[in-house]
Amino acid sequence: MEKSIITKELISEHGLSEEEYQRILEILGREPTITELGIFSVMWSEHASYKNSIALLKTLPREGIGLLTKTGEENAGVVDIGDNLAVAFKIESHNHPSALEPYQGAATGVGGIMRDIFTMGARPIASLNSLRFGNLDTPEVRHLLKNVVRGIADYGNCLGVPTVAGEIYFEHSYTTNPLINVMTVGILEHQDLTTAGAYGPGNYVLVVGSATGRDGIHGATFASEELTEKSEKKRTSVQVGDPFTEKLLLEATLEIIKHDLIVGIQDMGAAGLTCCTSEMSAKANTGMDIDVSLVPQRETGMTPYEIMLSESQERMLVVVKPENLQKVEKIFTKWDLHSVKIGEVTNDKILRVRNNGKIVAEIPTESLVAGFGAPVYHRQKEKPKYLNRLNSFDITSIHKPDNYNQILVDLLKSPNIASKNYVYHQYDYMVQINSIVAPGSDSAVCRIKNSNKAIAMTVDCNGPYCYLNPYEGAKGAVAEACRNIICAGAKPLAITNCLNFGNPYNKEVYWAFAEVIRGISDACREFGTPVTGGNVSFYNESPGGAVYPTPVIGMIGILEDLNFATTQYFQHADDIIVLLGEHCNEIGASEYLKLRIGEPIANAPKVDLIYEKKVQNVCYQAIRQGIVSSAHDCSEGGLAVALAESCFNRECLFGAKIDLHLIYRPDFELFGEQHSRIILSINKKNLPQLMKIAHKEDVNIIEIGKVTFDKKFRINNFIDIDVENLFDNWYNQIAKLME
């Protein structure tokens, strides 16, 4: 073994607590070598071990019909969609790397989540992203946005996976700590479902893909601490992506899976070789004996420590039966990729690492892995003091506006509401020719070739809601995701989540985290959409404080018949416009209130989950009965913005003439963001049929106006403005701010 030289400083530099180091001594019965210290350090980092979140994560609803994987145990969640097909999907964050190096940080975020999908045996068919930045009036934020988008575009476009949907919000809280969450969805046939287990002692362990360099060493540890001025020096913790190699890896991997040549496979993401070897063997109740000197290296003089901890991109660990070695090598050679045997699966449950035969680490695999022997902590919680001040804000103290036209224009120009075409036109959203509903509508819809089915996808979260009320905000995120899926004509299936928070050792942050878990749980139970997996990202803080609690929900839904795919855009002049749901008597946490006051304030809108589900049922049934021309969920900006967006059909702009019988204050009715509201446009003759469905579900339905050809947007005597004017303001605002 290597001679140990462990000092107190070294332990603390590795982010390990005194208590954790004592545990290492107990597990090993001796001092660790430097390589072992590195291995424990990354595996017990927050990023890899989920040590501060796993106890709560286990309370999320994880059971459901058609789940083909157990939550958190594989690279991604997999859901059966019938006809021997299944969907693999997952969301992940790449926040810290992107804060320092936005282009590479975002690009490698895409690369990582793609590998999680194709290692399941699924071909990625779509990618989504959920991004948070500070306000666009600072050049630093514009730099971040521009390069994050370029990074996502260059990587995803080259790979040939369409980026079909997403969301972007701009709030002061994210100024120095942007959030970059990326989701990928893949399709597989059941027999190709692949595991991440190193089964079968005696089987060979292969490293495939790119050569290993010194990039990204300690990336996982880096992601598990707050960003400070010193973080700039950790720029080398950010990996560099090569989408071309990833494309080859994608094709080669799917080819070996198709030929049934592998036992197990895992992406080398955070914590690289260390994470793969320990997780794959712990999962299979086996061990591994590897020699790092065999790993292809692109730099000279790399130590075992560096090879084990490197996060070089586009690499995977593959376990194969000895008799299949040659066939696997032949396929990787065809794609000009390395595939090198570095060791074997053993039955002693020990991760044994050698360097030229000499043992440099020997650790019981289980002791390293989340869900097995890695530490589990329960942190203290405390309701934040800021909430009382913010929640008790009296919304009626706001004067009624004088000029509703101007408010509507200002809301449409708010970067949170304005069209994101500046972004999505940089993404290839059409490659693979499945995108039947393009970016911009409530959900993206991709057909599944050679079938009549399609998949609807969305990512949703309103950070300010979660800041002002984490429980209701989290419920709202799930409810809105569901509503978006329903509005596309699909049935919600399951979710993946990416939980972005500050430092879990801060009691207030942890309280919000626990509230969010409770909110997601309640909502997912009600909607029957289990949590299939996801990612927790803590330490999203900078000297200015923590980001808003931001639990991003990625949801997929199924259309059994793709002909029912529906968009938010009005289709025919003279269709009537109908509001499903109730009048709105609140403006808490709304964009409108932010416009008036300058910050997110008051309380987030509450979700009545039972009513929400009924509203969604009505919408779904109406679409399935073929009587709906368009369906759009009311969210940021409220009813008025939702109506305006429905007019923005790119093929042909429409107008709307709305006569709304007001019960409450007009600005509350028009701009409040109450949940459980959907706007439908339908042919007048179908109104009785729609009413029948609504009455059966006991859902309120209000005929509020009609679609017009004249390109005028009118609401009672409050708003009267040209749609082209609204459209131009909405469509071009972000590009203007980026100039």
Partner 1 sequence: MRFNIIVFPGSNCDYDTYFVLKNVFHCKVDFIWHKQDKLKNADCVILPGGFSYGDYLRPGAIASFSPIMQELKKFAQRGGLVLGICNGFQMLLEMGLLPGSLMLNNTLSFICRNVYIKVINMHTPFTNTIAEKNVLKIPIAHKEGNYFIDEEKLKELQKNNQIVFQYCDKQGNTTEYTNPNGSVNNIAGIINKNGNVLGMMPHPERASEMILGSDDGKFIFQSIIASTFANHHKI
649 binds partner 1 (CB under 8 A): no
Question: Which residue, 430 or 662, is less far from partner 1 as judged by CB?
Answer: 430
| Active-site position among 14, 47, 96, 632 | 47
226 binds partner 1 (CB under 8 A): no
* Cα distance between residue 83 and residue 69, in whole Å: 18
What is the rounded end-to-end Cα distance, in angstroms, of the chain?
59
Among the candidate windows 9-17, 308-316, 347-355, 421-429, which touches partner 1 by CB under 8 A?
421-429
> Nearest approach, Cβ of 632 to partner 1 (angstroms)?
19
DSSP string, 461-511: --HHHHHH-HHHHHHHHHHHHHHHHHHTT-EEEEEEEEEE-S-TTSHHHHH
* Cα distance between residue 627 and residue 631, in whole Å: 11
Among the candidate windows 203-211, 214-222, 237-245, 506-514, which touches partner 1 by CB under 8 A?
237-245
Task: Write each residue from 365 to 404 as x if it is in contact with partner 1 (CB under 8 A), else as -, in one continuous string.
Answer: ----------------------------------------
248 binds partner 1 (CB under 8 A): yes
Q: Which one, of 603, 169, 606, lies nearest residue 386 by Cα?
A: 603
Among the candidate windows 152-160, 188-196, 411-419, 657-665, which touches partner 1 by CB under 8 A?
152-160
431 binds partner 1 (CB under 8 A): yes
| Interaction residues for partner 1, span 548-587 (CB under 8 A) | 562
142 binds partner 1 (CB under 8 A): no
Decide: helix, strand or coil at residue 417.
coil
Task: Write each residue from 315 to 354 as x if it is in contact with partner 1 (CB under 8 A), else as -, in one continuous string.
Answer: --------------------xx------------------
Question: Does the annotation mark 94 as catalytic?
Answer: yes
Decide: helix, strand or coil at residue 310.
coil
> Nearest approach, Cβ of 460 to partner 1 (angstroms)?
23
Residue 150 — φ and ψ, nearest 5°? -65, -40
541 binds partner 1 (CB under 8 A): no
* Adjacent-strand bridge partners of 126: 185
243 binds partner 1 (CB under 8 A): yes
From candidates 116, 171, 362, 428, binder to partner 1 by CB under 8 A: 428
| Active-site position among 14, 94, 96, 675 | 94
Question: Which residue, 136 or 376, is less far from partner 1 as judged by CB?
Answer: 136
Q: Per the structure block, which two tokens stand in for 736?
A: 């203007």
DSSP β-ladder status, 264-267 and 163-170: unpaired
> Nearest approach, Cβ of 713 to partner 1 (angstroms)?
23
247 binds partner 1 (CB under 8 A): yes
Q: Is 723 exposed, middle or buried (0-12, 13-18, 19+ CB in 10 A)?
A: buried
Question: Which residue, 291 or 428, is less far from partner 1 as judged by CB?
Answer: 428
* Cα distance between residue 167 and residue 146, in whole Å: 15
Q: Go through 51-76 and write b for each residue having 16 or more CB atoms within 10 A of its CB, e for each that does not.
A: bbbbebbeebbbebeebbbebbebbb
302 binds partner 1 (CB under 8 A): no
Among the candidate windows 392-400, 419-427, 674-682, 698-706, which touches partner 1 by CB under 8 A?
419-427
Among the candidate windows 20-28, 92-100, 245-253, 301-309, which touches partner 1 by CB under 8 A?
245-253
Q: Per the structure block, which two tokens stand in for 686?
A: 């179908």
Q: Per the structure block, which two tokens stand in for 509?
A: 């942050």
425 binds partner 1 (CB under 8 A): yes
> Nearest approach, Cβ of 127 to partner 1 (angstroms)?
13
Decide: helix, strand or coil at residue 618.
helix
* Adjacent-strand bridge partners of 339: 208
* Cα distance between residue 597 and residue 588, in whole Å: 11
449 binds partner 1 (CB under 8 A): yes
* Cα distance between residue 699 and residue 169, in whole Å: 31
Question: Which residue, 565 or 577, is less far from partner 1 as judged by CB?
Answer: 565
157 binds partner 1 (CB under 8 A): yes
240 binds partner 1 (CB under 8 A): no
The residue written with tokens 């595939």 in the block is 339
Task: Write each residue from 585 to 624 as x if it is in contact with partner 1 (CB under 8 A), else as -, in one continuous string.
Answer: ----------------------------------------
Question: What is the greatest pairwise CA distance in the chain?
Answer: 84
* Cα distance between residue 155 and residue 111, in whole Å: 7
Question: In 10 A of CB 157, how many CB atoms?
Answer: 18
| Interaction residues for partner 1, span 672-701 (CB under 8 A) | none
* 8 Å CB contact between 312 and 273: no
* Cα distance between residue 519 and residue 588, in whole Å: 18
The helix (run of H) or strand (run of E) holding residue 140 is helix 139-159
Interhelix angle 243-258/139-159, rounded to 10 degrees, is 40
Count, residues near partner 1 per rule CB under 8 A: 31
Among the candidate windows 311-319, 430-438, 585-593, 724-732, which touches partner 1 by CB under 8 A?
430-438
241 binds partner 1 (CB under 8 A): no
Question: Which residue, 221 or 435, is less far from partner 1 as judged by CB?
Answer: 435
Show Cβ contacts of residue 2 under 8 Å, excluding neighbours closer than 6 positions.
33, 34, 35, 360
Q: How many residues does the chain have?
A: 739
> Nearest approach, Cβ of 277 to partner 1 (angstroms)?
29
From candidates 315, 354, 447, 706, binder to partner 1 by CB under 8 A: 447
436 binds partner 1 (CB under 8 A): yes
Question: Which residue, 427 or 620, is less far from partner 1 as judged by CB?
Answer: 427
From candidates 101, 242, 508, 526, binder to partner 1 by CB under 8 A: 242
Question: In 10 A of CB 248, how many CB atoms?
Answer: 19
- Which residues are annotated as catalytic? 47, 94
Give the residues lining the site for partner 1 (CB under 8 A).
150, 153-154, 157-160, 242-245, 247-248, 335-336, 424-433, 435-436, 438, 447, 449, 562
